[in-house]
Amino acid sequence: MSMLLVVEFAMLDNPWTSDQVGEMLKWRVNSGHKQFFPDSGETLSQRLCSRKLWNFQQEVYNEVYDYLSKPVPGVVLSFLAVALWMLTIMMEYRSCVEQALGVWHLPSMKTEDEFEEVTDDGEIVVRGISPCLRVVAIVTLIIPRLFIMSSLAVVGSIYVAQTASLADIVLNCLALAFVLDVDELVAQVLLTEKPLGKNPKP
């Protein structure tokens, strides 16, 4: 959840605001078409479009040019990245629904009954759950998980869609995959084998 908040509040700024685009247009009119190079007779804008400059404007132009003109343009790559991200979220959503159905369909038992038993193989089998614990499980596990997944779907899609660099699109997809696996990483490090549902090794 903390990683989600970091992405939400610190990494979703639009790199191309209306003010920045306006400043670029002013630079093109006031500087790009008015400054000439005596040796070649080219304007600053012509040098820029020929990718012969070494300044901030050239870096911005190269980024936009690569995004629009590569064999796999940035629009297509962003669309594929968002589509794959949504498929990943749908896979997590399916897992969450299966978890919810499993909790919902567990047999109801009284509070004083034994909810689990250990088989001869050492496996823990859940026999049932009390109505109170069923509600607690849904409220504390299922609903927060659905909320976080919905937020991840929206925030992740915006995060990838606003990325202008082709290389950063791939890196940001890897970053989103890492955010999605943080909970499992923490569980693997902090929890013992029994809460993880694994049989302790003899």
- Please give the tally of structural domains in the chain: 2
Domain residues for the domain of 24 are 18-69
Decide which of 54, 69, 84 is a domain's last residue. 69
SS3 139: helix
In a domain, 150, yes or no: yes
Residues 55, 91 within the same domain: no
Residues 147, 93 within the same domain: yes
Backbone φ, ψ for residue 43 (5° rounding): -85, 170
Residues 87, 164 within the same domain: yes
Per the DSSP assignment, residues forming a β-bridge with 108 are: 129
Residues 83, 177 within the same domain: yes
Neighbours of 164 (CB within 10 A): 16
In a domain, 197, yes or no: no
Q: In the prediction, which pLDDT does 163 show?
A: 84
Decide which of 7, 39, 69 is a domain's last residue. 69
What would the pLDDT profile of 2-56 be if each residue is shown by its tens digit?
555 555 555 566 666 778 778 878 878 788 778 887 777 788 888 878 877 777 7
What would the pLDDT profile of 134-179 be if each residue is shown by its tens digit?
899 899 989 988 888 888 888 888 888 888 888 888 888 888 888 8
Question: What's the distance, CA 22 to chain centroid?
Answer: 30
In a domain, 122, yes or no: yes
- Which residue's entry shows tokens 């304007």? 43
Residues 121, 151 within the same domain: yes
Helix, strand, coil percent content, the chain, rounded in steps of 5: 65, 5, 30
